[in-house]
Structure formats: structure tokens, C-alpha cells
Amino acid sequence: MPRFVVLSHDWPFPHFDLLLENQASLLAWRLSAWPPTPQSTPERLPDHRLLYLDYEGPISNDRGRVVRIDAGQFEWIAPPPPFRAQLASQHFSGTLELPPANPLPSTPPPSSPNP
């Protein structure tokens, strides 16, 4: 079963990155709250590298720091679009519908984190 992770990210403003394992990359969304609420509208981000499933620490180019706050497994309920997944973790169990739209990059995509 594929894995997911939620990272608290402090740049460019405090938010949560929801990352879903998808073959050779992670599908990514920005959330204002975790666990999600009806008011926390997910924003699609560029795909991330798989290393973020286990990474915590500073992000290169002074793009803040990430801290892992939740992780678990998920399964797709229906093929995209829309992205609809059943997630199960210590802090959240439920279905999320996530927007499929390609993002307009508000921040550069992640590059190599500083180890």
C-alpha cells in the first residue's frame, strides 16, 4: 500500500505539505491545517522527490525547514481526476478529495535538501 507524509513547513508562510507516494515521485498539496478541516482548501504543488517521505530538516536555498507531523498509508478510491484517496494514520483517518489542477508555481519546486 502506498505511503503518505504530512510535513509542517515554515516557508514562505506556515503551512502543511501533504505528500502522496506515486511511483517515482510524491504528489504534493499545500494545506492550511492538519488534520484537514472543511475550511482548509488544498492547493496542488509541484511533485516532490521520494526522499521527503522520511526527511526532516532545512530546505536548500533558504526555503525554511520541514518537520514530519504525520505519516501513514493510503489508497486511491477513484482514478484522477479528481484525486480522491482514503488515508489512515495516527492523527487522521478519512477520505480526501484533492484538486488535480497543475499549480501556478508560487514557490520554486523543491531541490536537494541540506542533509
Residue 42 to residue 81: CA distance in whole angstroms:
14
> What is the DSSP-derived secondary structure letter of residue 11?
S
What domain count does the chain have?
A: 1
Report CA 96 to chain centroid distance, whole Å: 12
What is the reported pLDDT for 66?
Answer: 98
Specify the pLDDT at position 82.
79
pLDDT band, very low/low/confident/very high, at 11 (cuts 50, 70, 90): very high
Complete DSSP assignment for the chain:
--EEEEEEE-SSSSEEEEEEEETTEEEEEEESSSS--TT---EEEEEE-GGGGT--EE-TTT--EEEEEEEEEEEEEEPSSSEEEEEEESS-EEEEEE--PPP--SSPPP-PPP-
Residue 14 lies in a domain: yes
In a domain, 65, yes or no: yes
Q: What is the pTM of this model?
A: 0.85
**Inside any domain, residue 115:** no
Residue 62 within any structural domain of the chain? yes
pLDDT at position 13 is 97
pLDDT recorded at residue 106: 46
pLDDT value at residue 80: 74
* Cα distance between residue 86 and residue 21, in whole Å: 13
Distance CA 42, CA 29 (A): 6
Q: By residue range, what is the domain housing residue 94?
A: 3-98
Grid cell listed for 115: 542533509
pLDDT for 55-113, tens place per residue? 999 999 999 999 999 999 999 997 777 789 999 999 999 999 998 865 444 444 455 45
In a domain, 111, yes or no: no
Which pLDDT does position 103 carry in this prediction? Answer: 45
